[in-house]
Copies of this chain bind each other. A is one copy, B any other.
Amino acid sequence: MLRLSPPNFKRITQALSFDAIYGGGEANVAVSLANFDIPVDYVTRLPQNEVGEACIQYLRQFGVNTKKIIRGGNRLGIYFLEIGASVRPSKVIYDRANSSIATAKADLFDWDKIFEGITWFHWTGITPAISQNLADICLEAVKAAKQKGITISCDLNYRSKLWKYGKEPSEIMPELVKYCDIAIGNEEDADKVLGIRAPDTDITSGTIDAEKYQTVVEEILNQYPNLEKVAITLRGSISASHNTWSAILYDGKNMYFGPKYDIIPIIDRVGGGDSFMAGLIYGLLTYKDNLQSALNFAVAASCLKHTIVGDFNLVSKEEVLKLMEGDTSGRVSR
């Protein structure tokens, strides 16, 4: 997607220019992993015009393999992002209907070929929220991946402004999640996507209580025994400029609590969840026997994301490790 944001905290109605970047759920995970030196292929469909070309170039610079991207269709999805501050929330206006990916047909994707040499497949709940076509394609993909023994991860990623094609998430997502090995979500996804809710929670109150989400992850694993691990990111929204950030991870046996960071000010919070997912994938690949470290890496990585302009988490492993080891001082490195 093309993201268009008014510069310098302006409102959309004030803007005579838009900062432009290209990104989106899965792309954000892909770039973050490429940045951690994990080889990664990105699959989508983009229009055969300069805007599609610009998107490919944008992704390619970060080392993501873009050769599997299919060209065709009429347009690149767009979203307008008005960046909020203090008591004024950020605002997203989607203009993604009829995008090249939304109108893609299943036979465009030859999953056998796409999955050649692949060991991990990640998808998000945004994709099946766009169109029935995409929900079907997702299902084909997870089935094909499962059959090939590929690890499958999923970000539940509920978006209230999507799901406009006549289906509720509850009609689509459970079937898809059944093929997954790892699922993540934020504090409201489990509720909205899977109907599993933490007791007594109010996400607009500013604080968030990790304890309360233990029951959520436990219940997810109960209902989806195929899942090996479930993680929930925990965002305390004190204001648009000040959040707390943490996560919990559960593997059916142990409950792991990540560190809790205070992020003030937030430079760009879009892609926070995606950077957590990428951090968790990296963490699980790297700290195989140490889920606590895997989680800590994921939380630290995604904490840093909030300080990076754009959707992508452009931080190095070394920077994540430094924060993960406890240095939040922000002292100049020179």
- Determine whether A254 belongs to the interface, using a CB cutoff of 8 Å to chain B: no
Please pick, from B4, B9, B237, the residue contacting A307 in the complex, using a CB distance under 8 A.
B9
CB-CB under 8 A for A332 and B86, given A19-B16, A60-B61, A309-B9: no
- Smallest Cβ distance from A86 to chain B, in angstroms? 5
Whether B327 contacts A50 by the Cβ 8 Å rule is no
A195 within 8 A of B: no
A87 to B333, CA, bound (A): 12
A86 touches B306 (CB 8 A): yes
Q: Decide yes or no whether A263 CB sits under 8 A from chain B.
A: yes
List of B residues within 8 angstroms of A319 by Cβ: 88
Inter-chain contacts of A84 with B (CB < 8 A) = 307, 330, 332
Residue A314 at the chain B interface, CB threshold 8 Å: yes
Q: Are A329 and B239 in contact (CB under 8 A)?
A: yes
A205 contact set on B, CB distance < 8 A: 329
Q: Is the CB of B50 within 8 A of A12?
A: yes
Contact A93–B330 (Cβ < 8 Å): no
Inter-chain CA distance A329–B60, complex, in Å, is 34
* B residues near A307, Cβ cutoff 8 Å: 9, 84-88, 240
Question: How many copies of this chain does one complex carry?
Answer: 6
Contacts of A264 in B (CB 8 A): 86, 239, 241-242
Chain B residue with the shortest CB-CB distance to A308: B11
Q: Is the Cβ of A97 less than 8 Å from the Cβ of B80?
A: no
Chain B residues near A57 (CB-CB < 8 A): 13, 61-63
CB neighbours (8 Å) of A285 from chain B are none
A327 — nearest CB in chain B belongs to which residue?
B204
Provide the residues of chain B in CB contact with A203, threshold 8 Å: 329, 331
A86/B21 contact (C-beta < 8 A), A51-B93, A75-B95 known: no
Min CB–CB distance A318 → chain B (angstroms):
11
Specify which of B63, B93, B267 is in contact with A50 (CB 8 Å cutoff): B93
Q: Which 4 pairs between the two chains have the least Cβ-Cβ distance?
A: A240-B330, A92-B334, A61-B61, A237-B329
A-B contact pairs, 16 of them (CB 8 A): A4-B20, A8-B309, A9-B309, A13-B57, A49-B93, A50-B80, A84-B307, A86-B266, A87-B303, A87-B304, A88-B319, A91-B334, A239-B264, A240-B330, A242-B330, A265-B265
